[in-house]
Amino acid sequence: MNLIEEMLLEMDRCRDLIKIYNTIPAGSFGAAMIKQDIVAAEKAISSGDTISMIQCYKALKDSK
């Protein structure tokens, strides 16, 4: 797989995490942070900025 494919998989995983965070009473902050990472990843992909993509991929991968 290439970087973009890996990022798309992580973005999907993080979207699933957001759903879980939204079921937790105090999970809105965590959900907002993950959403911010997803938006940054989308921008990095659309601009073709490889350095930003790598940074975003790491941030998405670290989301728990």
Rounded Cα distance between 7 and 20, Å, is: 20
- The amino acid occupying position 47 is S
> Is residue 28 a contact partner of residue 51, using CB atoms and an 8 Å limit?
no
What is the structure's pLDDT at 53? 97
pLDDT band of 50, cuts 50, 70, 90: very high
Q: State the amino acid at position 56 in one-letter form.
A: C
Which domains are assigned to the chain?
Answer: 3-62 (1.20.1270)
Q: What is the pLDDT of residue 24?
A: 94
User: pLDDT by residue (tens digit) across 11-47?
Assistant: 999 999 999 999 999 999 999 999 999 999 999 999 9
Residue linked to tokens 């670290």: 62
pLDDT at 1 over 90: no
Task: Write down the pLDDT at residue 2.
Answer: 94
